[in-house]
Amino acid sequence: MALARRKAASTITPPAAGASRQATAPKPTRKRAPNRTLRSAPSESETPPIHPTLDRALRELLHRVDFPDAEILTYDDLHHWGDEAAAAFVSAGIVVPAGFATEIPCPECGDGTMVRVDRDPAGTCIAATCWGGDDPHRVRLAVDRARLWKFSLEGLASLVAASSPTVGRIEVVVADRLVLVGSAEFRGVSYEVFIARGTTWADREARIASAERLMHSPLPLVLSVDRAPVVQDWLPTRPAFGCLTTVLRWTNRGCAVRWDVLATQDAGPHPASDPCSWLSVTQAAERLLDVRSAIDLPKARARVSRAAGDSKFRTNGASGTARRIHEPSFSVWLLSERAKDLSVD
Ligand SMILES: [Zn+2]
């Protein structure tokens, strides 16, 4: 399978996101680029005003949890941005309960002295003995002080889904690292929107970039929690990229994904047709012959037509000789065909 991926990847053109970032001069207009406007994105004037406290808190939280081992939040961590933000995060499901701390800083000493926590039998209070300073003392506190919280990528996916016109079901692809949010129309084409955490961590390629569900997505858009992904890692899948810290904003009417901001980002999604080429059915069948043994051109043509009818990749919607096949999504389908051929051998 790894071999299949590597070989197939070499038949794919370089990522448009990287290419467009390096380009210094504007590219000539492409006659095949769809001339449709963005249907689902709200215009800037429709977006309610940003909620300054919650918006800043959200972005700082996302920044924090995009570091390894930083997803556990203590009471003080969660309340760092104020009680309103803490309540909003819990209510939105982006932080979820994660048990209780065994030690917390003594609130009376206030110098970071840690006290061991004993919960009372009713579970409403905690009691501890503090040995800090010269004067050992008992402290009693509401149990919430010892409660721990954990960032939830799945909860964030639900928030993104509720904050943007995505359709489809949320699907955890790699636990805590990659979640499919659904499909969203962007620049006139339908992307599968994923959110990813840890796109710059050392294990990113093994954990995220080669996830099967992402590999087989015809047109993926990966929204990194905070840090911009390393484009080279993602060559086989060639997703469009964005960062949630930039595009997910907390407004006075809840969260909103700012697709208009995404469109202007350097690492924003490339248009699906840029720089892709469209293939005729015969051209696509010839590509299929390269990866499948034991079939001839008429069989390959029939197979391509059938797969087009089953929406295995994107087409221009026409049939017969007018049918054109979207090259990037066809290349992704070829990966699975090549894998089948290798498994037959
Ligand atoms: Zn103390």
- Segments making up each domain of the chain, as ranges: 52-69+152-272, 70-151, 278-344
HSE of 200, CA atoms in CB hemisphere, 13 A: 11
In order, the DSSP letters of 220-262 are EEEEESSSPP-GGGGTTT--EEEEHHHHEEEEBTEEEE-HHHH
Rounded distance from Cα 121 to ligand 1 centre (Å)? 23
Q: Tell me the C-alpha to C-alpha distance, in Å, between residue 44 and each of 257, 259, 261, 319, 328.
A: 11, 9, 9, 38, 31
Rounded distance from Cα 95 to ligand 1 centre (Å)? 29
Rounded distance from Cα 252 to ligand 1 centre (Å)? 40
pLDDT of residue 237: 66
**Backbone φ and ψ of 50, nearest 5°:** -65, 140
CB 166 within 8 A of CB 195: no
Rounded distance from Cα 146 to ligand 1 centre (Å)? 15
pLDDT of residue 344: 62
Give the largest CA-CA distance in the chain: 89
Residue-level pLDDT, tens digit, the chain, 345 residues: 333 333 333 333 333 333 333 333 344 443 333 333 333 444 444 678 999 999 999 999 999 999 998 989 999 999 999 999 999 999 999 999 999 888 888 888 888 888 888 877 777 778 888 887 778 888 888 888 899 999 999 999 999 999 888 888 999 999 999 999 999 887 677 888 999 999 999 999 889 888 888 877 878 889 999 998 877 777 666 788 889 998 899 999 989 988 777 765 544 444 333 445 678 899 899 989 988 878 899 999 999 999 998 888 887 677 777 787 877 788 888 888 888 877 765
303 Cα distance to chain centroid: 32
Rounded distance from Cα 102 to ligand 1 centre (Å)? 15
Rounded distance from Cα 79 to ligand 1 centre (Å)? 21
pLDDT of residue 46: 65
Residue type, 116: R
Rounded distance from Cα 136 to ligand 1 centre (Å)? 7
Helix or strand (DSSP H, E) at 45: none
Rounded distance from Cα 145 to ligand 1 centre (Å)? 15
pLDDT of residue 131: 84
pLDDT of residue 73: 96
- The torsion of the CA quartet 30, 34, 184, 304, rounded to 10 degrees, works out to -90
Q: Tokens 């053109």 map to which residue? A: 13
208 secondary structure, DSSP code: I
Helix or strand (DSSP H, E) at 6: helix 2-9
Rounded distance from Cα 112 to ligand 1 centre (Å)? 9
List the shell of residues around ion ligand 1, using CB closer than 5 Å. Answer: 106, 108-109, 130, 132
